Amino acid sequence: MKRLIALALSVSMIFMLAACSSESAGSSSDAGSRAVVSATDDQPETESETEGTDPDTSEEAGNEAIDSDIISSGSNILVAYFSCTGTTEQVAGWIAEETEADIYEIVPETPYTEDDLNYNDSSSRANQEQSDSSARPAISGSVENIEQYDVIFLGYPIWHGQAPRIISTFLESYDLADVTIIPFCTSHSSGIGSSAENLHGLCSDTVTWLEGQRFSGDATESEVAEWVESLELPESEGRTVGEFDFETKTVLLNSGYEMPIMGLGTYSLTDEECAVSIAALLEAGGRLIDTAYMYGNEAAVGQAIRDSDVPREEIFVITKLYPTQYDNAAEAIDEALERMGLDYIDMILLHHPGDGDVEAYLALEQAVADGKVHSIGLSNWYVEELEEFLPQVNITPALVQNEIHPYYQENDVIPYIQSLGIVVQGWYPLGGRGHTAELLGDETISAIAEAHGVSSAQVILRWNLQKGVVVIPGSSDPDHIRENLDLFGFELTDEEMEQINALDRNEKHDWY
């Protein structure tokens, strides 16, 4: 099954089908026709690329609405394609289904019209572009996190015996070093031939090109499957969604983005404290910052990020909408962006269940489609709430953030959330709200800390990480912030993990 989002999840987004204008993909066979020059001779022949499919209605095309920005499942295979009239789109969908790949539609910034594709008019846009080897039609959108892909199937119709120039734009837009590219094309009779070979020079010498394949307008799914099965694809070096990487100190979200597995919570930090704390975090190598509208410090968070020498793309920022904002969630998202002074927010969560939360989440989905937000999720949602909520939305949350500490462990909730391909994050990892001293002084935890030569706080945070829970301890003390990031020089034994697990009191320290 083709995966556009979380691994093994059956959810979908509402995206655009806009590779070309409706004029060029209309019901008229003339509108969908173009002349193709064979790769082996100069004699033109006419091909109707729409043969056997309606690009706007065909479910077989496998394009369940996709915006120009890909939504990734963490697959290591990407099917990228350009299609004006549907045939290439259909083949791309079959390949994606066969390989369980992510799929990306190369959408021209200026759609091609019927006149643009008129072979008999030498001045038509397509003819002019194909005659100019330097032509690079602009693409709307881009593939995020393209570095996660080891294999790219690259599909296109044959135009004048070659790949459309927009394919050159695509290849030159990314660093594809060490990637394996497998081209495929659609045409009436032209082979893939030099159309693929002429693309090689657009990429790094470290790219591996496999022999491509041509499919006719009446190609069948079984033909495509047989070809895919004949390929010797390289083994995946990709990561699994939700898997913690203790080398990079990150986790891969079902949205395709990587998130640090430890960072800083800014609850109760005033603006000045917040700025100093974030500076200490970033200086110590921390890159995850958690804030919220209700904390009143979003502006300080944004200012601290802008004042830092750390590149923006290295910092992962989480904020939250409060239930009082749910009725005007779209406006609240824009206000958060404005307060922080950021071009995008890495993740926005709903703070906790409330009236209008489904509608607010749908607004978050639209913000993802608009490129304002990269990932979305929930805070203070448990099993019962998730079972009711998830069927009403389209994008599976990338994260659920709940209270988690040794006295309140959620041992039934964490595995359930993780089984959905959702990452779990714990707030109050050190107890919170007047309980920190008691927790840090717990005899069991103190003994384990002494055995490893670390602090009780480090033991608790490491316990969370080994359970697959991201931690965001709050602190305004630079020494504590540095200590809370230093979690990789030791490892808790199974016995020590069980000793901490035995401390569970089901003792919640906040009302959420």
**Residues annotated catalytic, as ranges:** 295
Q: Quick check: 261 and 471 in contact, CB under 8 A?
A: yes
Phi and psi of 448, rounded to 5°?
-65, -40
DSSP bridge partners of 35? 46
Q: Quick check: 398 and 368 in contact, CB under 8 A?
A: no
Would residue 256 be called left, alpha or beta, if left means φ above 0 and alpha means ψ between -120 and 50 degrees? Answer: left
Q: Which amino acid, 101?
A: A
SS3 at position 228:
helix
d(CA 189, CA 86): 17
What the block records as the tokens of 261 is 């597995």
> What is 423-456 written as a DSSP string?
EEEEESTT--TT-HHHHHT-HHHHHHHHHHTS-H
Residue with tokens 């599976």: 396
Q: Quick check: 329 and 350 in contact, CB under 8 A?
A: no
Element containing residue 172 per DSSP (H, E): helix 165-172
- Smallest Cα–Cα separation from 306: which of 293, 289, 323? 289
Would residue 398 be called left, alpha or beta, if left means φ above 0 and alpha means ψ between -120 and 50 degrees? Answer: alpha
d(CA 60, CA 15): 17
SS3 at position 77:
strand
Contacts of 6 (CB under 8 A, 6+ apart): 73, 241, 254, 396, 420, 421, 422
Task: Name the packing angle between helices 443-452 and 456-466 (round to 10°).
Answer: 90
Q: How many CB atoms lie within 10 A of CB 265?
A: 28
SS3 of 127-169: the string is: HHHHHCCCCCCCEECCCCCHHHCCEEEEEEECECCECCHHHHH
- Which ranges constitute the DSSP H helices of 235-297? 271-283
